[in-house]
Amino acid sequence: MSETVQGAPPPPPVAVPRLSSVVVPCRRTAQGWEVFWVKRDKALRFAGGFYAFPGGKLDAQDADVPVHGASGQDAALRAAAARELLEEAGLLVAEGAERLTPDAVASLRREVLEGRVSWRAGLERQGLSLRSGDLLEAGRWVTPEFAPVRFDTFFYFLEVGPHARTEWWPGELSEAAWVTPAEALARWEAGTALLHPPALHVLRVLARAGSPERTAAAMRTPEHCPDFIAQRIEYQRGVRVFPLRTATLPPATHTNAYVLGEEELLIVDPGSGDEEELARLLALVEGLVAEGARVKAVVLTHHHGDHTAGVRAVTERLGVPLWCHARTADRVAVPTARLLEDGEVLELAGAPPQRWRVLYTPGHARGHVCLVDERTRAAVVGDMVAGVGTIVIDPPEGDMAEYLRQLARLRDWPVTTLYAAHGMAIPDGPGKLQEYLDHRAAREARILAALPAAGVTLTELVARAYVETPPFLLPVAERSALAVLLKLQDEGRVREASGRYFPG
């Protein structure tokens, strides 16, 4: 990802949020609440690899299910909540559910999941009915605009008995268990359980161990959440992501700025030149400063415009220095106070303190760096990979052979969660890096297979090897194809003569 592309279609419109429901099932213990949480499978398009609570989008059939004490959309959302709770946790919350054996509940669950019976018909066949009073309203959250898939989600609190039976079935979920809020929050702090803002807020409320009514009321009043949209996104402690709308390569529409640290902060890649976007970022930072934090510096992963457009405004507004690699410093107009080198550590005071090791990772750009947290192995990786879209290697600035070496280096470091410049966090960092290496190897093989003995021009080669690429991206594909050809030339597997490329 980097610059805009001539002839590219306009940015996609902001996705319309889909209605959905989430249930927070809790049970009392001598130590306070326990909550049933789930881990979404890493392959899922939305929140894959994150921990959450049972829930999902509203189905058309949910509107057909009667709910005593509710009507219209409210009834449909509660019906969806009860259905998702059964499907994902095996918990049946309905009047008359106590009469059913575990086998009967499992049978109903399987039939509803497989679509062999509608939710309404399954309830009626068992003589069950839903009641609005079983689920306490526990807040509403709307996915921010940067996400390609968005939900308007209504949360419900449910207290179950101490011996409530839950069962995890593999599928969309890779894990499910009862956990104390303290245990869950400790994993979030350690970076081993990624949380979206709603789940983080819910766990913090549950840690205070109030009554069901007070707990649900506290869940309904999160901070920093105007119009139900979270303004602070902290997937793991001390790593805050702030997507900024930028002029970047479609399908991405935003570049992620990161605010790292607790007491001392680093701002990474303030890439928007738009005053309103920068005002939002500065409001977040100034709020953290008002709470006692101090901004130490602005750090750049590399020099491309969608990563640097806001650097001057942010450094001047906050009165902080710019840190970056020497090959980035000579490409940006703002004076650099510190040149970052491979292997050095950026220390941030806090509880816990952070130590971000600088890895020099050229390939996409000559001055590209990544930051790896020594405690959690989380990595802020700029344009090494993307959560949405692709990475362009554009010679002579880009070097395909070096880029592949750096992908392998990151994979083997090892890293955990990848925080890329575009898209969501990537929980399985090594898996994603290997996926990129495999993709590049497959593309290289296709390019070699598309080289006839008589030779081809670069444009002809792209037409043969990039048949699935949209027309507006063919100029970008040419640059990446050239990067591959230059690598193959260095290896003696391709030769060039008079603008034509031949097998080596």
| Residue-wise DSSP of 292-309 | T-EEEEEE-S---HHHHT
Res. 278: pLDDT tops 80: yes
- For residue 172, which of 52, 53, 44, 49 has the smallest C-alpha distance? 44
Is the pLDDT confidence value at 159 over 90? yes
pLDDT score for 253? 81
Ramachandran area for residue 147 (φ above 0: left; ψ -120 to 50: alpha; else beta): beta
DSSP 410: H
Which of these ranges, 75-79, 240-244, 387-391, 408-412, has the smallest mean pLDDT?
387-391
Cα–Cα–Cα angle for 354, 233, 334, rounded to 5 degrees: 65
Going through 325-412 in order, the beta strands assigned E by DSSP cover 338-339, 345-348, 354-360, 369-373, 379-382
Q: What is the pLDDT of residues 31-88, one digit of tens each?
A: 899 999 999 999 888 899 999 999 999 999 999 999 999 999 999 999 999 999 999 9
Q: What is the DSSP letter of 202?
A: H
For residue 182, is pLDDT > 60?
yes
CA atoms within 13 A on the CB side of 398: 24
Please calculate the CA angle 203-208-210 and round it to the nearest 5 degrees: 110
pLDDT at 1 over 50: no
User: Tokens 């309905």 map to which residue?
Assistant: 94
pLDDT category of residue 8 using cuts at 50, 70 and 90:
low
145-165 mean pLDDT: 91
Name the residue with tokens 């750009």. Answer: 365
The secondary structure element, H or E, covering residue 120 is helix 119-125
Q: What is the pLDDT of residue 290?
A: 97
Q: pLDDT by residue (tens digit) across 365-378? A: 999 999 999 999 99
Q: What is the DSSP letter of 95?
A: B
**pLDDT tier for residue 15 given thresholds of 50, 70 and 90:** confident
At which residue do the structure tokens 């030779």 appear? Answer: 455
With pLDDT > 70 as the criterion, what percentage of the chain qualifies? 97
pLDDT at 3 over 60: no
**What one-letter code names the amino acid at 320?**
V
Inter-residue contact 483 to 363 (CB < 8 Å): no
pLDDT digits (tens, 9 = 90+) for 440-472: 999 999 999 999 999 999 999 999 999 988 888
Report DSSP letters for 177-195, one per residue: EEE-HHHHHHHHHHTSS-B
Specify the higher pLDDT residue, 338 or 470.
338
Query: What integer is the mean pLDDT of 113-130?
Result: 97
- Angle subtended by helix axes 474-490 and 458-465, to nearest 10: 110
Q: How confident is the model at residue 417 (pLDDT cuts 50, 70, 90)?
A: very high
Burial class of residue 499, CB neighbours in 10 A (0-12, 13-18, 19+):
exposed
The percent of residues above 90 in pLDDT, for the chain, comes to 88
Mean pLDDT of the chain: 94
Q: What is the pLDDT of residue 390?
A: 81
| Separation CA 76–CA 395 (nearest Å) | 55
Tokens coding 486:
């230059």
Half-sphere exposure of 288 (CA within 13 A, CB side): 27
pLDDT at 412: 97
pLDDT band for position 336 (cuts 50, 70, 90): very high
Q: What distance in Å separates the CA atoms of residue 420 and residue 258, rounded to the nearest whole number?
A: 10
